[in-house]
Structure 1
Amino acid sequence: MTVQPVRMFGDPVLRTAADEVTTFDKEFRLFVRDLIATMRSQGGAGLAAPQVGVGKRVFAFDVDGVVGHIANPVLEFPDEEEQDGPEGCLSMPGLYFDTVRRMNVVAKGFNEYGDPLQIVGTGLMSRCIQHETDHLDGVLFLERMDRDRRKAAMKAIREADWYTSEVKVKVSPHDNRGVFFKS
């Protein structure tokens, strides 16, 4: 297994929608193992392929002792219940911002062999699945925040020691919650 460097906020790959996984071969299985190893080395709850520079729809997770991955996830929301709490991102290390997410989610996709897979998540697992699926769509969790939270988050990002002023990122001023939370 090889630990990969994590792409930081501002890298264009983080704002680009990933392509579906179509080949579930040995190379893909090795990549999934690398993704999990990288996530664990960084102490993350989740890591999406674009965060290591690979534009494929797959992410790894490690939540409450449950470690796994899912390729080509499609999300369903069984109810309207929401949670509001801290969320972080390995591409924005050391920063956490309150973000509204759905409390419950069902993710349908495939495992590393191309077999159908379903993950039912609640609480932190639900938050992780939604966050990582957003990465696969080229969406950062900043876009899930209301304007005031997003403004405070951008200020904290600009003050972070890893941030470089050479990176110019324009975050949509529009509330994207409605797009994401359609049933």
Structure 2
Amino acid sequence: MDEESQRSELQATYKVGYGKPPKEHQFGQRKQPNRTKRAAAAPESSDIAAFLDQPMQVKLNGRKLKMHPHEAMLYGLYGRVLKGEVGALKTLLAEFKKAGLLEPMAAAPSSGVIQVPRGVPGDLAGRLIRTGEAPPWDEELYYQLKAEYEQDLAHLARLKEDALAKARANGENVY
């Protein structure tokens, strides 16, 4: 069977009507893409980070200054906080928290061991530390507490001698 006879058979069985255009016009004429052209170059993107880092000119206390946009934003927030805006206060506190300004100062790492200088008795060192200072101590404070410490030692020695004398007088065997 040749092509023409196939076509005539197909036309005889294919009905043209509503929603069924003739086969030769069934898909219509569409514009075909031009595949020979080069793709257009992408527009050069602007560097947003560099733009945001550029100093901007602001007016502060009647003077024109250049400052970082973030710093200018903080000045503006501070002004709004002073006017009583609660939302501005929340935003300002969030910025402070982000910057780590609301964290308590960390104490210097300590192993819990205090090294006392040679020649300082442990009880005297305890008194000095209870005043709130770790070594090295203020010289004036050291000599003041050392004098009190020596007075206390002398008083304890007198009390011990009195207790021993009293025990010997009662006939107890004490050394």
Structure with bigger strand share is: 1
Q: Larger C-alpha radius of gyration, 1 or 2?
A: 2
Higher relative contact order (CA 8 A, sep 6+): 1
TM-score (norm 1): 0.17
Answer 1 or 2: which has greater helix percent: 2
